């Protein structure tokens, strides 16, 4: 009657390596499998294969912790060989001998404090135009032509008489001043904008995380068979 050999393997990757070696050793593909599922179904299946309730619950708990359970059906004369192969993969030494190596990193956060510019307030200067009434007095000059007739009695010289009896027109114009207004723009004040730089120290407090790796030695355990 065939016997079932069960081994608890640390990872799925190593479990596949175990299966590959069992197949190379001559065990049939349908006789080598990974047992998984919920706890109750897993316990029932392992009990059905001939194991006790306590052993079955132990394997189910191992699966819940992330372990991989590999089962092999073997004829009685080949059960010892299957158990020997599977036992090597259950130990830490067996895992490292069939893998090139696996690194578990310890991670630690560091607090990096930098600086960035943000707007902290400033000054906006806006110019606006307003009007105000002004008043200024100016003196204007105005001329008016006046005509005055005056009696005279003076004897003219011959050359004066000759000129006096010629036609003559005399124009005299009066002038007046009008108000002329023009506006001049003058700078009467300035607003200068600048920056004053001040420095201050600020302490940043935060928390950083660190992962630590704990190494636990695993004692070799014999594969159980029924």
Q: Is it the case that residue 58 has pLDDT exceeding 50?
A: yes
Query: Three-class SS string for 134-185?
Result: CCCCCCCCECCCCCCCCCCCCCCCHHHHHHHCCCCCCCCCCCECCCCCCCCC
Distance CA 43, CA 215 (A): 30
Q: Which residue has the higher pLDDT, 166 or 65?
A: 65
Query: Which tops the pLDDT comparison, 116 or 60?
Result: 60
Whether the Cβ atoms of residue 125 and residue 193 lie closer than 8 Å to each other: yes
Identify the weakest region by mean pLDDT among 16-20, 41-45, 191-195.
191-195
pTM listed for this prediction: 0.40
The per-residue pLDDT for range 152-206, each reduced to its tens digit, is 888 878 887 777 778 778 788 878 888 787 888 888 888 887 888 888 888 878 8
Q: pLDDT digit string (tens) for 131-149?
A: 889 888 979 888 887 888 8
Q: Show me where the domains of the chain are located.
A: 3-107
d(CA 33, CA 44): 16
Across the strands, what pairs with 74?
3
């Amino acid at each position: 009657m065939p016997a079932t050999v069960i081994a608890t393997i640390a990872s799925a990757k190593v479990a596949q390596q175990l299966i590959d070696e069992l197949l190379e050793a001559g065990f049939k593909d349908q006789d080598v499998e990974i047992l998984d599922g919920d706890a109750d179904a897993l316990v029932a299946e392992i009990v059905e294969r001939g194991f006790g309730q306590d052993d079955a619950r132990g394997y189910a708990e191992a699966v819940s912790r992330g372990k991989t359970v590999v089962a092999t059906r073997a004829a009685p004369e080949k059960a010892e060989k299957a158990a020997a192969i599977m036992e090597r993969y259950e130990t830490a030494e067996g895992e490292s001998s069939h893998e090139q190596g696996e690194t578990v990193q310890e991670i630690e956060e560091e607090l990096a404090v930098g600086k960035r510019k943000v707007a902290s307030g400033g000054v906006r200067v806006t110019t606006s135009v307003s009007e105000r009434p002004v008043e200024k007095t100016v003196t204007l000059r105005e001329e008016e032509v006046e005509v005055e007739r005056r009696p005279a009695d003076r004897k003219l010289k011959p050359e004066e008489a000759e000129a006096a009896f010629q036609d003559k027109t005399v124009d005299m114009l009066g002038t007046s001043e009008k108000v002329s207004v023009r506006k001049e723009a003058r700078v009467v004040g300035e607003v200068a904008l600048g920056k004053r730089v001040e420095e201050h120290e600020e302490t940043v407090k935060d928390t950083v995380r660190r992962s630590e790796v704990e190494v636990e030695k695993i004692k070799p355990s014999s594969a159980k068979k029924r």
